[in-house]
């Protein structure tokens, strides 16, 4: 019987069962597929409550997104303005302004929540 995960021991058991299901060839519309989907939702909710992941550091979010897009740090010059501003931001000597946050959000599609964190 499926039920909410309330302890770390239950969490580990559910993870083991998910691993078993992943190792099999699950047929669409089967009981195993339904079980897999439900267990995945239970794990996601447990992890959201017990193991929350905080937002990334704003500078790390920018660097990660640049890497994802295959861009270089120098490409930030076009977004943020001059080269010294980009260098100051990436080195931590200067904080992101609201207009910079908007530009980064709009041009690189970085969630604003990741950019507004204090650092």
Residue 84 has pLDDT above 90, yes or no: no
Quick one: average pLDDT of 24-32? 91
The answer to pTM > 0.85 is no
Residues 6+ apart with CB under 8 A from 43: 5, 11, 14, 15, 18
Residue 83 has pLDDT above 80, yes or no: no
Q: What is the pLDDT of residue 92?
A: 87
Going by the DSSP 8-state scheme, the letter that residue 73 receives in this structure is: G
Quick one: average pLDDT of 46-53? 93
Quick one: average pLDDT of 85-107? 92
Quick one: average pLDDT of 88-116? 93
């Amino acid at each position: 019987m499926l039920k909410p995960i309330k302890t770390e021991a239950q969490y580990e058991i559910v993870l083991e069962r998910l691993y078993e299901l992943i190792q099999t060839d699950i047929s669409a519309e089967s009981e195993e597929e339904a079980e897999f989907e439900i267990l995945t939702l239970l794990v996601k909710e447990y992890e959201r409550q017990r193991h929350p992941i905080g937002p990334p550091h704003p500078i790390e979010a920018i660097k990660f997104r640049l890497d994802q897009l295959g861009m270089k740090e120098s490409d930030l010059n076009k977004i943020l303005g001059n080269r010294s501003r980009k260098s100051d931001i990436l080195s931590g000597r200067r904080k992101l302004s609201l207009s910079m946050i908007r530009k980064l959000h709009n041009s690189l599609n970085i969630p604003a929540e990741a950019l507004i964190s204090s650092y």
